[in-house]
Amino acid sequence: MTTDYGKLTWEEVRDADKDRVVILNVSATEDHGPHMPLDTDTVLGMAVANGVAAAAPDEVLVMPPIAYGFNEHHKDFPGVIWIQPETLIAFVTDVTKSLAHHGFRRILLLNSHGSNHPILDLSARKTVIETGIICVSASYWNLCADRINEHRKSDIGGIAHAGEFEAAMYAHLQPEHVHIEKSAAQNLHDPQTNFFNLDLAMGGGKAMLMRWWSEVSPDGTMGDPTVADPETGKLFLTAAIEETTALVREIRALPILARKDHH
């Protein structure tokens, strides 16, 4: 059976193993510097999801992605399509509740855009409350942060948005769409602060202030794409796929528990 949800017939959905983990990638359509296209988060998120499906074809189904996210703070850069957080939570939970209605019991909301992280956390929690099924959210870089740091060339601050991590993976997947020669390093790491630095693999964000993107980045980049290369991108992507596959297997093994009303 195909792992591509959109290619299933209704009879195949009816007969499907409902303990397959249904993966829903939620991404964004937004600026990724002068060196990468608007669809970066979707291309990378779906590469991870489809990589998991190739590694575990009997254990998952992959939904068509939601290619828009919570990113109004990027709108000074042309091309950004932003969704209000309330709308996105409602949209995502309509998808998850539809899946629950059809009998699926295990969903992974796979995030590939930073500012969707709290949105998908809340969406997963709402799904659990409203349906009783298992719904997990994860941002894929968090699953493989240690392995990113084994392979990266950039210093701390080099992996945030359109930096080494994303540029290297996109260059591995579709080199014709990545123009590293147009990129510039925008490493904003500030050793003077203990709370406000952001590197996707080296922590930060203990306290959160999300400024307008145009206030902090001249060209949409945050990080260092200048050191990105496709060979390292392949290593990053392999790590992301392997760790997400491991997560999927843990989700499949989670027990379905029973509530008990103590009134």
Please give the residue ranges that form the binding site for Zn ion (CB under 5 A).
40-41
C-beta of 27: minimal distance to Zn ion in Å?
8
User: What 3-state DSSP class applies to 187?
Assistant: coil
C-beta of 163: minimal distance to Zn ion in Å?
9
C-beta of 109: minimal distance to Zn ion in Å?
17
- DSSP state letter for 66: B
C-beta of 87: minimal distance to Zn ion in Å?
20
Judge whether 185 and 176 are in contact, CB under 8 Å.
no
C-beta of 202: minimal distance to Zn ion in Å?
17
* Beta strands per DSSP E along the chain: 21-26, 60-62, 106-111, 134-139, 159-161, 198-199, 203-204, 222-223
Cβ proximity to Zn ion, 106 vs 158, nearer residue:
158
Cβ proximity to Zn ion, 126 vs 179, nearer residue:
179
Starting at the edge strand that comes first in sequence, how are the strands of the sheet with 60-62 ordered? 60-62, 21-26, 106-111, 134-139
Cβ proximity to Zn ion, 133 vs 138, nearer residue:
138
Cβ proximity to Zn ion, 80 vs 136, nearer residue:
80
Rounded to whole angstroms, the Cα distance separating 19 from 59 reads: 8
C-beta of 171: minimal distance to Zn ion in Å?
14
Cβ proximity to Zn ion, 131 vs 233, nearer residue:
233
Cβ proximity to Zn ion, 104 vs 140, nearer residue:
140
Structure tokens at 68: 């828009």
Judge whether 51 and 241 are in contact, CB under 8 Å.
yes
Kindly give, in sequence order, each residue whose CB lies less than 8 Å from that of residue 132, ignoring residues fewer than 6 positions away. 100, 259
Kindly give, in sequence order, each residue whose CB lies less than 8 Å from that of residue 260, ignoring residues fewer than 6 positions away. none
Residue nearest to Zn ion (CB): 41
